[in-house]
Amino acid sequence: MIPFKNKNIGKFLIAILLGFIIMSIGGIYFQKKEWKRYNMVSRQTEFKGEIVKIRNNGVTFVKLNNGRELKLPSSYNYAYNDEFLGVFIRRGDYVVKNSSSDSIFIHRDDQCYYFILGKRIEE
């Protein structure tokens, strides 16, 4: 143990360390629990709707205005300034993905953009 001249400082530091450990474990637990709610988008998945919430933690999580919560695989299109799908999409974008397709279409300001699931295009 670390020797301290004032035992109150030692107790305080131990309390801070324990608090940090407990909060870290709790945060990881609740984050993993939340991630399970989101369905991973695959080739067979079909969806369309307006994006109301986005979170990007290596995997892009989106919530649509119809309540669907989806995990989007990492996809890149180097034709765009923001080539990573998770950075490119914004709240308010309308997204469409048809069943048996690997393409995601993003409609924004009368423009249509696309990404291919899990792929890098236009390198």
Q: What is the pLDDT of residues 99-119, one digit of tens each?
A: 999 999 999 999 999 999 989
Same structural domain, 59 and 82? yes
- At residue 123, the pLDDT reads 61
Same-domain pairing of 26 and 72? no
Q: What is the pLDDT of residues 10-21, one digit of tens each?
A: 788 888 999 998
Task: Based on the fold, state whether residues 28 and 46 are members of the same structural domain.
Answer: no
Task: Say whether both 5 and 50 belong to one domain.
Answer: no
The answer, yes or no, to whether residue 1 has pLDDT greater than 60, is: no
Question: Does the model's pTM come out above 0.75?
Answer: no
CA distance 9 to 61: 42
- Number of domains observed in the structure of the chain: 2
115 in the same domain as 63: yes
What does DSSP assign to residue 42? -
**DSSP for 51-116, written as a single string:** EEEEEESSSEEEEETTS-EEEEPP-EETTSSS-BHHHH--TT-EEEE-TT--EEEEEETTEEEEEE
Question: Which tens digit of pLDDT belongs to each residue from 73-95?
Answer: 999 999 999 999 999 999 999 99
The parent domain of residue 48 ranges over: 39-121
